[in-house]
Chain A
Amino acid sequence: MEGSVTYDAVVVGAGSAGCIVAARIAERGVNPRTGDRLRIALIEGGPYYFKGGPPRPGYGDPERRRRITNIRFLEFKPQPWPYDGLQNKMVGGCGLHWGGNAYLPFDEDFDHWRQVSGVDWSPEKFAEAKAEITQMYHIHSSILENMNRGNLLFHDAASSLGYKVTPVPMSRYNCINCGYCGSGHFCKYDAKGTTLPYIDLAERNGVEIIPDAEVEKILIEKRGTTPVAEGVRYVRSGQAGELRADKVIVTCGTSGTPVLLLRSGYGPREVLGDRTIVENPNVGKHLDGDIGRSVVCLFDVDLKDGSRGGVERWQLSLTDSQGRHGWMNVQMNDSPNCSVDEMYPHLLAFHPMAPEFGWEHKEFMRTAGKRVGGISVTLRAPDWERGVVDPNGKHLYRRDDPAILKRLDEGAEVALAIIDRMNPRPVRVNRKFPNRYTVSHNVGTCRAGENRKTSVVNSDFECHDVENLFLASGEVVPSGSLGHSHIPICTVAAYAWRRIVANHFSRGTP
């Protein structure tokens, strides 16, 4: 592969978006001049664990299963470069660590995306992409038979207050609801949100998967005055190499993509200085995500019905009548401090309700594992000062915006009202809220938009400034959607391959 071949496209980053884009372009695209099949490389900094036949969702792969068994995603392996998000590098991405809540983009998301960046995306244009992701990730409603006592307490109390309560959508294959995932263990059967079908598709369509190869930079060269992406430089087993390609499609995610672009000399001059090859002030900017806080409770009843708990749950939405500060999702869920699945003891030990130490703490550990619960409040699409990803991958954002705090307070008051209506009520509730918040499930750091003044790629994922360079993962999504960002990002990737095939890899396209 090294130096001797020019690929039709190299996809950089084999997470969920990269696997979708590489597999589908290889399957559906052709060389526009000859009609021949495309030669696609999918290059990834992490390992490729599959051995033998195609890996199957819900069953995993023996090699992959062995390597990720009993490992929390935080402990998987040190990152080669600093990520502030919680991504792990491996072919297929780390969708397998999460609880499986799966929100396809809502109509409100499209409205907000068009509003903030001028992107031309719409529910109608995304219809096929949404259908594809619904099928490929097996998106279905939470299973009511699995709802445990904690969930039902939330459902009954919220309903009695007049809220419309709906089951959270999930993405799972053959999940046995073992409860051993919500706090961060990999699912050894790849049952949740898995990208395995796309890896299989990529393999069957001749995509050359190149694992353990850290891409250091995109090769950007000037043809006349026009910057053109011509390939990538990478390091594999300590050896430097280059891949040349007609198109370079970067899918390194919200943290990884801006870091890679900055390393390639593409970004704000104020950051790059003399290393600037192509200037665009938006690279690494506009970091968004969902903003949340939790109301934590301790009950004197077992919320898990004697089971290990699970990932099913109910939710409700709160819309801001003025529309300025986003809308909120409220659910009893599995965030580290409010669990309806079984909480790991080494996390439970630091629960806000836990006594400091000694016999009281030990008694709490003995009895509280199935009694702690809580309600999470997640705010999305607010009008706020967006964050930044710096050249080291660090996420920088304000954590005390008064307007955001006010809105979260409103959500927390709703959560408290629901808690007060529960029967039985919790024996303890934390009613003091921190005056800070966290932003997770990040997107938007090289967002798609109308023009280069406010974005990095256009609505068809083509870079405004560098020819033959495309971006197609979380970084292009203009603002955060609801819950885990995996499914919205996958949906955008499913739209991206369609636009890239239509514009560049169909017979007769330029």
Chain B
Amino acid sequence: MEDPKGRDHELSRRAFLTTTGKAVITGLAGAAVGEAVRGAEVTRRDIVAALGDTLVPSAPGDPGYRDLESYGITDEVLQGLSGLSDEMLQGFNAAAEAVFPGRTFVALAGGERARYLKAVIEGAVFKSNPQQAQQLQQVYTMVRTRVFTVYYSNFPENKIPADASGVPVPTSKDPHQIFNPNTSRLVTGWDVAGYKGPVRWEEEEALRARMKKIHWHE
């Protein structure tokens, strides 16, 4: 759980993201974000956001993790990382110094961050301290698992309108109980992967018509 100081900083971080949002959308490289947070206190949110941006990178015309920050993707990722301590994350951030002297992970540019992650995965740089190497890999694995799971589960279009008990509620215009939360308004993980999600009614009717022509018995 974050302390009040951390929450204050969360707010300032959110404000930072808001003010830099336009720049991010127009393709500001991860390096610029890294430079911007240099010198400020680095929170677990900063570190996870930087990891998310490295795991699922963005470029102009090719949206990724960073483009979903304004929809709260790092909040969502953090919700599943309660088992990852601040100390471990801060240690992960600080250990970049072994590869890039004098610099932390969040202060690195995009390509540098990728090089650091490769060093963590390979472990060679940290072979003199196997415990540290193992801990860094643990942080990487936990964050990678959570980031990919959230991002490629169609966040933020992964919620279906539901009643108080969580039961999906169809819109009055939908008599067929078709619930596909994906839209064309936003590029999500499903869109990146070209995944259509559950069949829509027109597709369902087409599939049904096709199956009706097939004799099912041998």
CB within 8 Å of B: which residues of A? 62, 65-67, 69-70, 140-141, 143, 145-146, 174-178, 180, 185, 188, 308, 342, 344-346, 348-350, 356-359, 361-362, 365-366, 369
Cβ contacts A to B, 6 pairs, < 8 Å: A176-B207, A180-B199, A308-B196, A344-B152, A350-B148, A356-B117
B204 touches A180 (CB 8 A): no
B121 touches A369 (CB 8 A): no
What separation, in Å, do the CA atoms of A70 and B161 have in the docked complex? 12
Residue with the greatest number of chain B CB neighbours at <10 A, chosen from A146, A175, A185, A362 = A362
Minimum CB–CB distance from B158 to chain A (whole Å) comes to 9
- Cβ of B195 within 8 Å of any chain A Cβ, yes or no, is yes
Contact of B217 among A69, A140, A175, A365 (CB under 8 A): A140
By a CB distance below 8 angstroms, the chain A residues around B121 are 356
Of chain B, the residue at the smallest CB distance from A170 is B216
Contact of A365 among B144, B192, B216 (CB under 8 A): B192
Minimum CB–CB distance from A345 to chain B (whole Å) comes to 4
Minimum CB–CB distance from B141 to chain A (whole Å) comes to 10
Contact A141/B190 with A70-B179, A358-B114, A362-B56 known, Cβ cut-off 8 Å: no
A70 touches B168 (CB 8 A): yes
Contact A176/B117 with A69-B168, A357-B144 known, Cβ cut-off 8 Å: no
Contact of A69 among B114, B118, B177, B218 (CB under 8 A): B177
By a CB distance below 8 angstroms, the chain A residues around B153 are 345-346
Contact A176/B193 with A70-B160, A70-B198 known, Cβ cut-off 8 Å: no
Interface string of B175-191 (1 = CB under 8 A from A): 00101110000000110
What separation, in Å, do the CA atoms of A185 and B160 have in the docked complex? 15
Residue with the greatest number of chain B CB neighbours at <10 A, chosen from A143, A176, A359, A369 = A176
A176 touches B152 (CB 8 A): no
Contact of B211 among A65, A70, A176, A362 (CB under 8 A): A176
Contact of B192 among A141, A188, A366 (CB under 8 A): A366
Given contact pairs A346-B149, A358-B54, a sample of 10 additional A-B residue pairs in the complex whose CB atoms are under 8 Å apart: A66-B167, A66-B168, A145-B214, A176-B211, A178-B198, A349-B151, A349-B152, A358-B114, A362-B62, A369-B195
- Cβ of B102 within 8 Å of any chain A Cβ, yes or no, is no
Closest 10 CB pairs of A and B: A345-B152, A345-B193, A349-B148, A176-B207, A346-B152, A357-B55, A346-B153, A178-B199, A365-B193, A349-B152
Of chain A, the residue at the smallest CB distance from B65 is A362
By a CB distance below 8 angstroms, the chain A residues around B160 are 69-70
Contact A346/B148 with A66-B168, A362-B56 known, Cβ cut-off 8 Å: yes
- Cβ of B208 within 8 Å of any chain A Cβ, yes or no, is yes
What separation, in Å, do the CA atoms of A64 and B179 have in the docked complex? 14
Contact A140/B204 with A345-B195, A346-B189, A356-B117 known, Cβ cut-off 8 Å: no
A359 touches B57 (CB 8 A): yes
Minimum CB–CB distance from A370 to chain B (whole Å) comes to 8
Interface size class of B (residues with CB under 8 A): 35 or more
Minimum CB–CB distance from B62 to chain A (whole Å) comes to 8
A366 touches B194 (CB 8 A): yes
A143 touches B216 (CB 8 A): yes
- Cβ of B60 within 8 Å of any chain A Cβ, yes or no, is no
What separation, in Å, do the CA atoms of A366 and B203 have in the docked complex? 22
By a CB distance below 8 angstroms, the chain A residues around B181 are 70
Minimum CB–CB distance from B179 to chain A (whole Å) comes to 5
A366 touches B117 (CB 8 A): no
Contact A178/B152 with A65-B177, A140-B216, A358-B57 known, Cβ cut-off 8 Å: no
By a CB distance below 8 angstroms, the chain A residues around B192 are 345, 362, 365-366
By a CB distance below 8 angstroms, the chain B residues around A365 are 152, 189, 192-193
Of chain A, the residue at the smallest CB distance from B180 is A70
Interface string of B61-86 (1 = CB under 8 A from A): 01010000000000000000000000
- Cβ of B170 within 8 Å of any chain A Cβ, yes or no, is yes
B195 touches A342 (CB 8 A): yes
By a CB distance below 8 angstroms, the chain A residues around B62 are 362
By a CB distance below 8 angstroms, the chain B residues around A345 are 152-154, 189-190, 192-193, 195
Residue with the greatest number of chain B CB neighbours at <10 A, chosen from A141, A188, A349, A366 = A349
What separation, in Å, do the CA atoms of A506 and B193 have in the docked complex? 59
A362 touches B179 (CB 8 A): no
Minimum CB–CB distance from B163 to chain A (whole Å) comes to 10
Contact of A366 among B148, B169, B193 (CB under 8 A): B193
By a CB distance below 8 angstroms, the chain B residues around A357 are 54-56, 114, 117, 144
B204 touches A176 (CB 8 A): yes
A344 touches B195 (CB 8 A): yes
A67 touches B167 (CB 8 A): yes
B198 touches A180 (CB 8 A): yes
B195 touches A143 (CB 8 A): no
What separation, in Å, do the CA atoms of A177 and B56 have in the docked complex? 32
What separation, in Å, do the CA atoms of A70 and B200 have in the docked complex? 12
Contact A361/B55 with A345-B195, A346-B153, A369-B195 known, Cβ cut-off 8 Å: yes
Minimum CB–CB distance from B110 to chain A (whole Å) comes to 9
